[in-house]
Structure 1
Amino acid sequence: MRVPQAASGQADMTAFEDKKVFVKTYGCQMNVYDSNRMMDSLATRGYSPTEDMNEADLVILNTCHIREKAAEKVYSELGRIRQIKEKREKDGKGEMKIGIAGCVAQAEGQEIIRRAPVVDLVVGPQAYHMLPDLLERTNGGARVVETDFPIEDKFKALPAAKKEVTRKRGVSAFLTVQEGCDKFCTFCVVPYTRGAEVSRPVAQIVSEAKGLADAGVREVTLLGQNVNAYHGEGSDGRDWGLGELLFELTKIEGLDRLRYTTSHPRDMDDTLMAAHRDLDCLMPYLHLPVQSGSDRILKAMNRQHSYEDYVRLIDRIRSARPDIALSGDFIVGFPGESDEDFEQTMQIVREVTYASAYSFKYSPRPGTPAADDENQIEDAIKSERLYRLQDLLNAQQKAFNASKLGEEMTVLLERKGREPGQLVGKSPWLQAVQVDAPDNLIGEIVTVRIDTVGSNSLFGTMIDPAR
């Protein structure tokens, strides 16, 4: 839907020359990917990125609706931006336009326009390929809201990033292969902000991945709200699953590491299991949210799996890839959660053991079924449970990191470290690894022996491959 706007004639292309855009990204990896693609799209109209909001002609907040009070945080940020905009225009530096993108935009488009007169443009995550044209419509003071779910394939409409732009972004990259979710967990807004599950065709994904590899990207993480529900059209005309897609991507020269996130326990099929077993380039790390260990709470969440379903699945995954590290998501204090329900969550953590995890207190999301549940839990109880859960998860993470002491592992060196002569890389298990190495090794995969385990990083010594 769109706010009524002034009639426009032929686009003034000169208005897009030599402009700067500042994008602030909130939330998940998919938003990082979306922000990059928005900047690629705006580059066709003469916009270049800036890290200084004060010099921006256009500021975009790419928002996330998962966290508590997400919308209020956006309005608070807009108050700060308004002051920068007013000062910029007072100093004669030109107009600053402001756009809100992402899931908060999708959920609250008209409300944003009503509450924040400073905003020129609101665009949902399914329409950001239209951003340059929508921006043109704001000329002359019109305010535009676009939160429909367009029929056209937004990925097909987006321009590819220039090779030098991709190279500047780093040797690891995100690649969205699937969007939306059909699971309708009762606590989650994703089906309402991102829509139904949609998967990109295999050929389109392969083409983008080849472009990334050609620009020097060595590792790609495939993204989706429910990525292992991927069902894109393959070269034989039938729908391929994520496992088949991973096998196809291994054929791309220069693409040495593959990952994917975020998954649902219901969608781990046999071909995906085989990919974990057979593909050395598929890293031994899996983020597989369980949310709760209580069958009663899992049913109330509409997770459509049980404690035993999840544990049996973990056993199968570990049989296929014994060195795999697991990550998970947990919600404490879901409406109606008893002390016994919470203890079952603690028990599943003890039984599975996690290398890392994300844990949160439940907070209601307007429009979701759980938000209307009368059995809300007191915040003090939620806080106490979260503290206990995180204490256990942190202990497990420390133990996993400590298990790598003395081990030799391959590390993708990605960027300079804080200290001179230091590079920071990534282990197969997604740990940060710091090592003394020359800058010309950025982008290389080297063997490192882990000498020290820190609170958030591993520290190692590069092993001479010729020894």
Structure 2
Amino acid sequence: MLERMNHTMHEENRQGEAYAPFVNDPTAYNKKFYIESYGCQMNFSDSEIVASILNENGFGATRNFEEADLILINTCSIREKAEQTVRKRLSDLRTVKKNNPGALIGVLGCMAERLKAKFLEEEKLVDIVVGPDAYRALPGLIAEAETGQKAVNVLLSREETYADISPVRLDSNGVSGFVSIMRGCNNMCAFCVVPFTRGRERSRDPHSILKECTDLLNNGYKEVTLLGQNVDSYYWVPENIETGKPVNFANLLEMVALIDPSLRVRFSTSHPKDITDDVLYTMAKYENICNYIHLPVQSGSSRVLQLMNRTYTREWYMAKVDRIREIIPDCGISSDIIAGFCTETEEDHQDTLNIMRHSKYDMSYMFFYSERPGTLAARRYKDDVPEEVKKKRLDEIVKLQNALSRESNQHDVGKTFKVLIEGNSKKSDQDWMGRNSQNKVVVFPKENYPLNKGNYVMVKVYDCTGATLLGKIEP
């Protein structure tokens, strides 16, 4: 689908990188596992579910893959480059098999679901292939692989939400936690593999969501992000409609906000067609619901949006942005943008630049289009925009977004924000870094104030870069 990405975000943002878990007490477990995750935050959340399942079955975590009995790679399939990264990583792991022939290597997630058993043929090192809905089957698959058999389970489910599993927080900063509220996606966007790799939408029981959020708060966390491919379509119906009421996303958002006013609430991702006034009014009502919405546009051309099957026009999208600004005037808005989708003309490209100017995005994830096997676009359309044209248009999009990001940050100079401290700045342990409600990174000197990670502090912004606000603590 998507080939290149530019965050225009501060370097302290952690998006789509690999990570390994914290180390458990090595004496508490018989075997060790190591896990890396790539792609979206949903994959990172899934890895925490996997870690919990493995803990329950005698596996403790390690940061050193060379000593692991089980190595898992949780994969992304949204871009060709993402799959290439996984293949290279598997190749790098050849030394593990040489030094420890008994070690098992497994591939999880979207790439596993897309390629299924073919993965075992393509990647000779792989012993286990597990799709996103089959993580409960991991213990049995591991036992099967230990006998020398290749183990595969990529069955998709219409019910699985892992609602009863308490995730093990991997490499967390101890301040911000991610909570999955639903799985799958019903939107058949022409460029996207997610409906094929994660299945149909199903919403998680709100009571289990509230319990997980409360547990995070009780363990010292100060912020939760509610995750879903399209959170605004969350809709849970109780088994007995006579004794309970359906819960939509606006209802859920309010329920989480009411857990405790000190617990910040974020969410991602919103589909423009589904975000409602009820959600916006709920955000405006509660101070602890952050004023930030990730609202992917993908293209500014109504003609291209129709080909993409996005189900809205440019005019409709711009009206939605205007409505957000009307109800939440200081709301931060970010987006996803694709350059060079099938048949895109220069006029279509100019429409995208114009909708960016209208929306005044604080930041964007920007890509140029590359065809993904199995998608509607791959079956219906010819990928006919030359690569050099795609790159040129993407470069123009990136330059415009950089200018919009700098302009947005410059408007914040002189303002004071409530900032949640997430930890030290990467550039200096003499500075804190945190985020304001609009999801902007703020860096400021510690000075001699008695503050710690997880504290809220009022910070006045005195300068900025294109990606970061620079401030000082307000006495």
TM-score w.r.t. length of structure 2: 0.88
SS of the residue 2:412 aligns to: coil
State the AA in 2 paired with 1:76.
Answer: K
SS of the residue 2:93 aligns to: helix
**Contact in 2 for aligned 1:41/1:159 (Cα 8 Å):** no
1:385 is aligned to: 393
For residue 216 of structure 1, report the CA deviation from its aligned partner: 1.0
**Contact in 1 for aligned 2:304/2:341 (Cα 8 Å):** yes
2:269 is aligned to: 262
Seq. identity, %:
35
1:322 is aligned to: 329
Query: Could you tell me how far apart the structure 1 residues matched to 2:439 and 2:464 are?
Result: 14
Structure 2 counterparts to residues 34-49 of structure 1, below 5 A: 34-49=46-61
For residue 169 of structure 1, report the CA deviation from its aligned partner: 4.4
Query: Could you tell me how far apart the structure 1 residues matched to 2:113 and 2:220 are?
Result: 34
Can you give the 5+ residue segments of structure 1 that lack an aligned partner in the other structure?
Answer: 1-15, 90-94
Query: Could you tell me how far apart the structure 1 residues matched to 2:392 and 2:454 are?
Result: 43
State the AA in 1 paired with 2:71.
Answer: V
2:342 is aligned to: 335
Structure 2 counterparts to residues 62-461 of structure 1, below 5 A: 62-89=74-101, 95-150=102-157, 153-161=160-168, 169-233=173-237, 237-253=244-260, 255-372=262-379, 373-374=381-382, 376-418=384-426, 419-437=428-446, 441-461=452-472
State the AA in 2 paired with 1:430.
Answer: N
- 1:25 paired with 2:26, answer no
Can you give the 5+ residue segments of structure 2 that lack an aligned partner in the other structure?
Answer: 1-27
More displaced 10-residue stretch of structure 1: 112-121 or 99-108: 112-121
**Contact in 2 for aligned 1:33/1:175 (Cα 8 Å):** yes
SS of the residue 1:280 aligns to: coil
SS of the residue 1:42 aligns to: helix
More displaced 10-residue stretch of structure 1: 398-407 or 190-199: 398-407
SS of the residue 2:273 aligns to: helix
Give CA-to-partner distance per residue, 1:314-370, whole Å, 9 cap, x none: 111111100001101111111111111111111111111110011110110101121
Query: Could you tell me how far apart the structure 2 residues matched to 1:168 and 1:156 are?
Result: 20
Query: Could you tell me how far apart the structure 1 residues matched to 2:167 and 2:252 are?
Result: 21
**Contact in 2 for aligned 1:202/1:233 (Cα 8 Å):** no
Query: Could you tell me how far apart the structure 2 residues matched to 1:142 and 1:157 are?
Result: 30
Give CA-to-partner distance per residue, 1:89-147, whole Å, 9 cap, x none: 5xxxxx32111001000111211111222111111111123323322222211211110
SS of the residue 1:448 aligns to: strand
More displaced 10-residue stretch of structure 1: 353-362 or 36-45: 36-45
Query: Could you tell me how far apart the structure 1 residues matched to 2:97 and 2:473 are?
Result: 48
SS of the residue 2:105 aligns to: strand
SS of the residue 1:131 aligns to: helix
Query: Could you tell me how far apart the structure 2 residues matched to 1:335 and 1:153 are?
Result: 35
For residue 452 of structure 1, report the CA deviation from its aligned partner: 2.8
Q: Residues 48 and 111 of structure 1: is their aligned pair in 2 closer, same or farther, counting only changes over 3 Å?
A: same
Q: Residues 27 and 255 of structure 1: is their aligned pair in 2 closer, same or farther, counting only changes over 3 Å?
A: farther
**Contact in 2 for aligned 1:180/1:195 (Cα 8 Å):** yes
**Contact in 2 for aligned 1:200/1:233 (Cα 8 Å):** no
Query: Could you tell me how far apart the structure 2 residues matched to 1:310 and 1:59 are?
Result: 43
For residue 292 of structure 1, report the CA deviation from its aligned partner: 0.8
1:3 is aligned to: none
2:8 is aligned to: none
Query: Could you tell me how far apart the structure 1 residues matched to 2:96 and 2:465 are?
Result: 40
**Contact in 2 for aligned 1:166/1:212 (Cα 8 Å):** no
Query: Could you tell me how far apart the structure 1 residues matched to 2:63 and 2:193 are?
Result: 30
For residue 166 of structure 1, report the CA deviation from its aligned partner: 7.6
SS of the residue 2:443 aligns to: strand
For residue 152 of structure 1, report the CA deviation from its aligned partner: 5.3
For residue 205 of structure 1, report the CA deviation from its aligned partner: 0.7
1:5 is aligned to: none
Give CA-to-partner distance per residue, 1:152-177, whole Å, 9 cap, x none: 5341352454xxx5895421011110
State the AA in 2 paired with 1:177.
Answer: I
Query: Could you tell me how far apart the structure 1 residues matched to 2:163 and 2:190 are?
Result: 32
SS of the residue 2:463 aligns to: strand
Give CA-to-partner distance per residue, 1:153-210, whole Å, 9 cap, x none: 341352454xxx5895421011110111111011111110011111101111111111
State the AA in 1 paired with 2:409.
Answer: N
**Contact in 2 for aligned 1:413/1:423 (Cα 8 Å):** yes
More displaced 10-residue stretch of structure 1: 381-390 or 148-157: 148-157
Q: Residues 246 and 157 of structure 1: is their aligned pair in 2 closer, same or farther, counting only changes over 3 Å?
A: closer
Query: Could you tell me how far apart the structure 2 residues matched to 1:351 and 1:40 are?
Result: 45
More displaced 10-residue stretch of structure 1: 245-254 or 329-338: 245-254
1:9 is aligned to: none
SS of the residue 1:441 aligns to: coil
For residue 257 of structure 1, report the CA deviation from its aligned partner: 0.9
Query: Could you tell me how far apart the structure 1 residues matched to 2:155 and 2:450 are?
Result: 46
Query: Could you tell me how far apart the structure 2 residues matched to 1:314 and 1:105 are?
Result: 36
State the AA in 2 paired with 1:299.
Answer: Q
SS of the residue 1:267 aligns to: coil
Q: Residues 375 and 133 of structure 1: is their aligned pair in 2 closer, same or farther, counting only changes over 3 Å?
A: closer
Query: Could you tell me how far apart the structure 1 residues matched to 2:116 and 2:132 are?
Result: 12
More displaced 10-residue stretch of structure 1: 414-423 or 296-305: 414-423
State the AA in 1 paired with 2:457.
Answer: V
Query: Could you tell me how far apart the structure 1 residues matched to 2:451 and 2:31 are?
Result: 33
**Contact in 1 for aligned 2:181/2:203 (Cα 8 Å):** yes
What count of residue pairs does the alignment treat as equivalent?
442
